[in-house]
Amino acid sequence: MDKEKVHYVRGTEELKLKSIRAQKLIQQFNQCDVEDAETKENIIKELFGTVGPGVSIEHNFHCDLGYNIHVGNNFYAGYNCTILDMAEVRIGDDCMIAPNVGIYTAGHSIEPKDRNKSGYGIPITIGNNVWIGGSCVILPGVTIGDNSIVAAGSVVTKDVPENTIVAGNPAKFLKAISE
């Protein structure tokens, strides 16, 4: 089933205000003392749409709006995580994201006319117990199934079935994971 595109126009007052709200919270988060886990968690709870217990995100985190991000229990994201959440990003329980990962719901027209004035977002869903390796990119509309692994450096352009390992650019099936 295709996921519905969310269209937006850049530069509108409403989008500016939403972005400013997110950027102020992100700035506070990234300037927190590394030992102040409680403040960091409170900022993430204010920024994200929903947050399960046990969230841990390293510094230099970035996102567009924040409220479109929903993470489950025991979520971990390493340094330099970027989530472009012009559409919803839903991440399940017990997920680990290594450093330098980009999760991008946003896209733009391939037609040059007005490409920089508007765009769209397509939701991304990441299941439970997923491990995304360092320097991966997850593109708009992708669903990653439960218990799967995305190997370091991969670019995920298509859905990943549950219990599989994918690798490469574009990411392709590498092997099944058995219990």
Distance separating alpha carbons of residues 48 and 39, to the nearest angstrom = 14
Distance separating alpha carbons of residues 143 and 92, to the nearest angstrom = 11
Domains of the chain (ranges plus CATH)?
A: 6-176 (2.160.10.10)
7 catalytic residue (yes or no): no
Q: Is residue 130's pLDDT more than 60?
A: yes
The pTM for the full model equals 0.96
Q: Is 19 exposed, middle or buried (0-12, 13-18, 19+ CB in 10 A)?
A: middle
The whole-chain average pLDDT of the chain stands at 96
Spell out the residues 6+ positions from residue 146 whose beta carbon is closer than 8 angstroms to its own.
92, 127, 128, 129, 130, 162, 163
Q: 85-107, pLDDT tens digit by residue?
A: 999 999 999 999 999 999 999 99
Read off the pLDDT band of 110 (50, 70, 90). Answer: confident
> Active-site residue among 7, 59, 70, 108?
108
